[in-house]
Amino acid sequence: MRPELRFRRATIIASAALLLAAPFLADAAANKGPAPKGEEVYRCRDANGRFVYGQAIPAPCMEQDIEVLDGTGRVVRVIPGRRSMEEAAAQKAQEDALKAAAQRDRTLLATYLSVADIERLRDQRLELLEQQSRVTEQYIANLRERESRLMTDVQRFRPYNDSPKAPPVPDHLAEEMVNTVNGLVVYQEELTKNTAERNKLRAEFDADIRRFKELKGVK
């Protein structure tokens, strides 16, 4: 082949290659596209829907799903963004709640045969708590009586007695006063806790009764 023909053929091939590569080169230049072969690139879309590239995760990608490209521009994996992770967590929580509700329904139907069964168990548990409450109330009454007696006793001693000749409160009497007051605090807290537990128990059994009626179609 003559030299001028070989030169013309090489020119045509080179021009065709440039025309084919032009769109890719323009996109890579505009968006800082795929990295050289062998390196990974991170990519996401910005607020305008355009691709944003970077060899480190670009700032606009922090909230979004991030595609990881290999050196050929192929997506090799996707890193979920915070929004996707929050949505996935919310969906899982909802699914878990539905599963838990279904399990409660199965347990409810397997445990009781009638509303009367639920009410019977409720009354038994409430009675136990009420018995504990009555015992606690009696302890409180006894401690208040002791406190009143001790207050009468300490009136003979300083600093409750203004007389210069009044002796100081004996150690054993002061210790008994402290123990009595501390006991009152403890039993008052127990009584408050018992009341809250009874209210919670009633609410839970009321909810079980309503749901059991729904499942059984009972009014």
Q: What pLDDT shows up at residue 125?
A: 97
- 58 pLDDT exceeds 50? yes
pLDDT digits (tens, 9 = 90+) for 87-118: 778 888 899 999 999 999 999 999 999 999 99
If DSSP states are collapsed to H, E and C, what string results for 40-108? CEEEEECCCCCEEEECCCCHHHCCCCEEEECCCCCEEEEECCHHHHHHHHHHHHHHHHHHHHHHHHHHH
Q: What pLDDT shows up at residue 38?
A: 52
- 20-24, 32-36, 185-189: range with highest mean pLDDT: 185-189
Place 44 in a pLDDT band, splitting at 50, 70 and 90: confident
- Every domain of the chain and the residues it spans: 113-216
pLDDT digits (tens, 9 = 90+) for 139-195: 999 999 999 999 999 899 988 888 888 899 999 999 999 999 999 999 999 999 999
Please return the burial class of 118, using the count of CB atoms within 10 Å of its CB with bins 0-12, 13-18 and 19+. buried
Q: What pLDDT shows up at residue 12?
A: 42
Is the pLDDT higher at 72 or at 179?
A: 179
What size, in residues, is the chain?
219
Count other C-beta atoms under 10 Å from residue 46's C-beta.
14
Percentage of the chain with pLDDT > 90?
A: 51
Place 84 in a pLDDT band, splitting at 50, 70 and 90: confident
Q: Which fold has domain 113-216?
A: Helix Hairpins (1.10.287)
List the structure tokens of 203.
């609410």
Its pTM stands at: 0.57
